[in-house]
Amino acid sequence: MQKIVVLPDLVVDQIAAGEVLENPASAVKELIENSIDAGATEIRVEIEGGGLQRIQIEDNGSGMNREDLALCLKRHATSKIRSAEDLGRLVTMGFRGEALAALAAVSKIELKTSNGKEGSYLAAQGSQSEQITPRPRNRGTTIEARDLFFNTPARLKFQKSAAACAAAVLKTVQTISLAHPEIAFRLLSNGKLTFDVKLSEWKKRAEEVLGPFAHEIAAPSVRGLLGRPEEGKANRSGQVLFVNQRPVFSPWIAKAVKTGFGTRMREELFPVFLLFLEVAPDAVDVNVHPQKKEVRFRDEGKIYALVQNAVIGAFQQSAPALPPVPWDFTPMPTTPFILREQPTPSIEERLPMEPCGRPLVQLGDFLLVEEEGWQLIDLKGASARLLFEEIEAPQAAVQPLIWPLEIDLQESSEEVSELLKAAKIESHPLGPKRLAIDALPSGLEPAQVSAFLQEFQGGKRDRRLAAVVTRTCRASTRAYSFEEACLIWRKLQNCEDKQYDPLGRTLAVSLTKEALKEMFR
Ligand code: ADP
Ligand code: MG
């Protein structure tokens, strides 16, 4: 008997909706992004019941003509890209042509739109749309979605209370508004005005939404505001990052900011910051997360140095500059340079040498250090050691994620959640085999989480923390930049055990002149 069937369109759309639309806030985010892409200068959001009962977004953007309105609810219908190459030069927020199709699949929607010449109206329910009828309207678009997730009970069941949903919508509107001071935003929740900002410029908008900041970053490609070092928080809740005006989450960049604070801030605290990073569209991949919450950079090391230096620069405006201490090695060639501006040398490069040892050159996953002859350091093993000691530390810093990571498992989510506690990973089950990760130990990057979880799967393997950490780090295919390699080596110097990885494999091999001579005999 035939077992494979092609899924009906509505089911396909509902599956896709599960990825794009997690809750009312993600629907609001998609709709606002569309209004921004349409060039709106005023966006008005109305929600009822936290958005589960009703979401309405009204804008004064370009609107659509009748033909475009007929297409806009179709999956992969977009006016923003034409080819895969366009992904490398994205300047719009949307590009997948998925949001409206997804929303139409899981709610009852009505669209009113006008391009200034003709106005049209369209209603659809669970992807079934009616005829388009003429309907006058000023230029712009109004989209109303009622009964969100009415036909996807599983998704509906996992929604939070109306109040929590409303709070998440408010946060979404506020966050997006930070990157678009040129747009006036209004949010009404159950008829009450809860957010209202007029046209402004970025610093004023930031203070209006987030309150005052102490320091300003004004470097090429990076601008933003920093809280005082002593105002650091116990978690990441005070951190907002935009890459090309897109709100994203990147512990990697957060770490670069923290490093820029240097010793001004206590180890366990998280700096408060608002950061806008501008990179060439082809230097960043936004197509790695269904809700575009994560981005990947072509050259993480360069971005890291850029951010770190910008933060250092913000503090140096009032303090004397550090004298430059030049290195006397030729660094490894790195991948072609992709940022618009050349970053200045990183703090790691400018700091005086450690008293013992000096990194010379990187050989793939190994670093050659001049220290009692030479030492060859195993970087993967060393990063496992660092992560292990960070997790084991009694006061290990745990970083709540602004946006929890959702992961599908092979095993019971309750059990895995319990096991993860030992690794200081906080999580809660979303379903029998689906888990939301809420917080990570500070040394673990979200990009490593799925590899980490894979190591837990199957049950038969060694589930000791030491084994899981070591296997995760050793299996990583991430290439280290020379700066990162030096950082790993420097941090290793502070480890309790800097000789061995958590499973007891040696981390450094001595190369003496004699031993080298011996090799060539
Ligand atoms: P994407 O934004 O990825 O293109 P969407 O499903 O969000 O996909 O939207 C599909 C298309 O509908 C957009 O490409 C755009 O042409 C049109 N559209 C959606 N919302 C608006 C709006 N508020 N104003 C004008 N056009 C819109
Ligand atoms: Mg869109």
DSSP for 116-184 reads: SS-EEEEEEETTEE---EE----SEEEEEEESTTTT-HHHHHT---HHHHHHHHHHHHHHHHHH-TTSE
pLDDT at 88: 66
Say if 433 falls within a structural domain. no
Instruction: For residues 58 and 178, state if they share a domain.
Output: yes
In a domain, 82, yes or no: yes
Same-domain check for residues 79 and 217 = no
323: nearest Cα among 352, 353, 358, 359: 352
- CA angle (363, 484, 341) in 5-degree steps: 110
The answer, yes or no, to whether residue 223 has pLDDT greater than 80, is yes
Q: What percent of the chain has pLDDT over 90?
A: 39
Indicate if ligand 1 lies below 6 Å from the C-beta of 78.
Answer: yes
- Whether residue 148 has pLDDT greater than 50: yes
pLDDT: is 464 or 197 the higher one? 197
Which DSSP string do the residues of 70-114 spell out, in sequence order? HHTTSTT--SS-SSGGGGGG--SS--SS-HHHHHHHHSEEEEEEE
Centre of ligand 1 from the C-alpha of residue 79, in Å: 7
What was the pLDDT predicted at 324?
Answer: 32
Report the greatest alpha carbon distance in the chain: 90
Same structural domain, 495 and 477: yes
CA of 47 to the centre of ligand 2 (A): 19
Residue in the structure block whose two tokens are 């602004």? 402
Domain of 511, CATH number, reads 3.30.1540.20
Q: Are residues 144 and 210 in the same domain?
A: no
Residue 430 lies in a domain: no
Q: Is residue 182 part of a domain?
A: yes
Same domain (yes/no): 15, 131: yes
- How much is the average pLDDT of 440-453? 80
Task: Give yes or no for a contact between 25 and 168, defined as CB atoms under 8 angstroms apart.
Answer: yes
**Residue 58 sits in the same domain as residue 126:** yes
Query: CA-to-CA distance for 489 and 381, rounded, in angstroms?
Result: 11
Angstrom distance (rounded) from CA 414 to CA 258: 34
Of 302, 227, 301, the closest CA to residue 270 belongs to 227
Q: Residue 260 is inside which H or E element, if any? A: helix 251-261
Q: Which amino acid is at 208?
A: E
Say yes or no: CB of residue 103 within 6 Å of ligand 1: no
Residue 90 confidence (pLDDT): 66
Residue 323 DSSP code:
P
Tell whether 500 and 366 lie within a shared domain. yes
Residues 318-360 have pLDDT tens digits of: 443 333 322 222 222 222 222 223 333 343 333 333 746 788 9
Mean pLDDT for all residues in the chain: 83
Which CATH number fits the domain that encloses residue 262? 3.30.230.10
Counting the structural domains of the chain, the total is: 3
Tell whether 425 is covered by a domain: no
Task: Give Cα separations from 514 to 322, 486, 509, 510, 518 (angstroms).
Answer: 40, 26, 14, 11, 6
In whole angstroms, what is the distance from residue 202 CA to residue 208 CA?
10
Residue in 26, 30, 67, 72 to alter for ligand 1 test, most ligand atoms within 8 A of Cβ: 72
Given 178, 197, 216, the domain boundary residue is: 197
Residue 207 DSSP one-character state: H
Shared domain check, 209 and 275: yes
Ligand at minimal distance from the CA of 90 is 1
Q: Is 160 exposed, middle or buried (0-12, 13-18, 19+ CB in 10 A)?
A: middle
Q: Among all ligands shown, which has an atom nearest to the Cα of 29?
A: 2
Query: Do both 241 and 274 map to the same domain?
Result: yes
What spacing in Å lies between the alpha carbon of 67 and ligand 1's midpoint? 13
**pLDDT band per the 50, 70, 90 thresholds, residue 287:** low
Residue 423 near residue 384, CB atoms below 8 Å:
no
Same-domain status, 376 and 392 = yes
| H-helix or E-strand spanning residue 348 | helix 347-350
Predicted confidence (pLDDT) at residue 20 exceeds the cutoff of 80 = no
Of 134, 167, 197, which marks where a domain is finished?
A: 197
93 C-beta closer than 6 A to ligand 1: no
The span from the CA of 341 to the CA of 334, in Å, is 16
| Measured CA distances, 322 to 317, 341, 345, 450 (Å) | 12, 22, 12, 40
Could you identify the atom of ligand 1 that is nearest to the CA of residue 30? 7
Residue 12 in this model has a pLDDT that exceeds 80: no
Q: Are residues 164 and 236 in the same domain?
A: no
The range of the structural domain enclosing residue 38 comes to: 9-197
- Supply the CATH number for residue 175's domain: 3.30.565.10
Residue 407 domain-assigned? no
**Domain C-terminal end among 288, 317, 346:** 317
- Does 497 reside within a domain? yes
Length of the chain: 521
Q: What is the pLDDT of residue 205?
A: 93
Q: Is residue 405 part of a domain?
A: no
Pair 125, 214 in one domain:
no
- The H or E element containing residue 400 is strand 398-408
Among 3-17, 181-195, 251-265, the range scoring the smallest mean pLDDT is: 3-17
CB 433 within 8 A of CB 416: no
Distances (CA, A) of 16 to 13, 51, 127, 428, 431: 5, 20, 13, 23, 18
The residue with greater pLDDT, 282 or 32, is: 32
